[in-house]
Structure 1
Amino acid sequence: MTDDEPDGVPSAGTSNSSDAADAMQEVSSSLYKMIGVKGKASDNFPGVSECAGKDLKKFFRIFHPWSFTPASASDIDEAMARLKREMPKHGWKIVEYGPNTSKNRSLTLTADNDKKKVSVKVIKMVKGGPPMLSLDLVSGCYQVPDGEKIDLYPS
């Protein structure tokens, strides 16, 4: 994401944590659609975390880790290829793509969506279980509206 804050974490604007979590769920749903192969997504929900160095009562970030397991193990490469191909058409900028530094050298895609103030890291996992994509999304820093509190467990 474009760095418009000294710590490199962009401002995502003003929102309550429930609305911000809903927005993150929509981003995850759009990524699921871009994967475009049959399979199952995990049922994880977005959560709230702190914005490092900022007032814990006024600022927060939304994170959403989830996974996608294709119906056919042979579709894992197509799922990753579709994300790489489709994400730029939907406002994502791929900032890193290639093997990571893990022992397995897993293929990793990192992308930012400056309009939505969201970043995602996708890891193609093929060893130690059924092949799947691990997706970790994180937002920029939101500021809670005046007079409201951050709900640590948005629904």
Structure 2
Amino acid sequence: MSESSGSSGTKVVGTREQDEVNTEIKKVSSELYDLIGVKGTASKTGAGVQSCAGKDREKFYTMFHPWSLVAQTDDELAQAMERLKEELPKHGWKIVKYGQDSSASKNLELTADNDERKFGVHISFWRKNSGGDKNPPSLVVNVISGCYQVPEGQTVEHY
């Protein structure tokens, strides 16, 4: 969800209650977890709120839900990334980027947008010991919503 409308800032995708977007972003994360299809240890992080670029922070917001999944082997996660590349388009997602990042580790990353649902996702695959220190094989996931306006008479709750 990286659309912008020139110098006026981020494109607003609609008006929604924050609680609705919070519930939906967790649902999207759960669906992504199911598509990944690897039995590992998922982090237990909550969703957060941030301002939309160039917009009144009391009226406009985007939500994000970062989480990670630690697995036993690199192979499990390499297969999961391939599965995501194939399966996400069948579920309304458009793959925007798929390939190695510019880090020394050349982590595999996937970025996709779901225009109908107004969510985007970025997933990085960190091979074992690729983080500059010892780390287990993991996927680092960040789901982000489009920019919404709160309903009339409400203000954005920042958390």
Asked if these proteins are the same fold (TM beyond 0.5), I'd say yes
Counterpart AA for 2:60? F
Alpha carbon RMSD of aligned pairs, Å?
1.8
Counterparts of residues 103-142 of structure 1 (less than 5 Å): 103-126=104-127, 127=130, 128-142=134-148
Q: Which runs of 5+ in 2 are unaligned?
A: none
Moved more, 129-138 or 15-24: 15-24
**Matched AA of 2:48:** G
- Unaligned 5+ segments in structure 1 are none
Percent sequence identity over aligned pairs: 44
Deviations 1:36-63 (A, max 9, x none): 1211211011100000111111100001
Does the CA-based 8 Å contact 2:70-2:137 persist in structure 1?
A: yes
Alignment correspondent of 2:6: 6
Task: Give the alignment of 1:1-155 within 5 angstroms.
Answer: 1=1, 3=3, 5-6=5-6, 9-126=10-127, 127=130, 128-153=134-159
8 Å CA contact retained: 1:122, 1:133: yes
Residue correspondences, number: 153
Amino acid at match of 2:78: D
> Which one is further off, 10-19 or 48-57?
10-19
What displacement does 1:70 show? 2.2
Task: Kindly provide the amino acid, as one letter, of the partner of residue 99 in structure 1.
Answer: Q
- 4+ residue runs over 3 A deviation: 1-10, 71-74
Q: Distance in 1 between matches of 2:11 and 2:22?
A: 17
